[in-house]
Amino acid sequence: MNSGVIILAGGKGSRIGGKKAFITLSNRPLIHYIHSIALEISNEIIIVTSKEDKNNRILKQLPGSPKIIHDLCEDVGPLMGIYSGLRATEAEKCLILPCDTPLANTDLLKFLVQSANGYDAVIPRWPNGFIEPLHSVFDVNKSIIFIEASLSRGEKRINDLIKQFELINYISINTLRKYDPELLTFNNINYLEDLKMVEKTIRKK
């Protein structure tokens, strides 16, 4: 199975004072962390960002020559970022990742990718039913068709995509604790307090 990784890096980060992808964490832009993790998962990495961002030069300096693309339509949300990335990939399946989870566990993410064969999507799910669509694996061709159908109806949420899938492999969060006991993979950064906590964790490693 041919798989790629799509990193969503177009978020404005208004609650943290700047675009998340370029916020500094332990002297490195945040995007460096998830990109390094993605390199261990696939040779095809696509970073989706907003147009005309002065910081996009940082993305071009990342190792492995990731494909840098812009949202086909801005201010629509992560669904458009996913769609833009899917349109640019040559892979059959794509792991979707946000740029603000620097503690993501590589083995956990590899397990998600390996669990995608024969399914439209692989999605982590918590005991209360909450899902993690931004740490999911999607079938490329079906997702493109379904997203286009959603957008034609004015539907712009990721759940509008997911509800169209017929074969979803929901992976219990408890199963994923085998790889990431503290589930740090899903700890994203929304506020400066989150950034400080993650920085402390990195220093302990």
Does the pLDDT of residue 42 top 80, yes or no? yes
Q: Band of the pLDDT at 14, cuts 50, 70, 90?
A: low
Q: How many CA atoms lie within 13 A of 24 on its CB side?
A: 2
82-107 burial, b at 16+ Cβ within 10 Å, e below that, comes to bbbbbbbbebebbbbbbbbbbbbbbe
Tokens of 179: 């790889």
Domains and CATH numbers, the chain: 3-204 (3.90.550.10)
What distance in Å separates the CA atoms of residue 124 and residue 34, rounded to the nearest whole number?
A: 18
pTM listed for this prediction? 0.94
Does the pLDDT of residue 74 top 80, yes or no? no
Number of DSSP helices (H) and strands (E) in the chain, helices first: 8, 9
What distance in Å separates the CA atoms of residue 187 and residue 112, rounded to the nearest whole number?
A: 17
Whole-number pLDDT of residue 77: 82
Give pLDDT tens digits for 129-158. Answer: 999 999 999 999 999 999 999 999 999 999
Whole-number pLDDT of residue 169: 99
* Main-chain phi, psi angles of 80, to 5 degrees: -70, -35
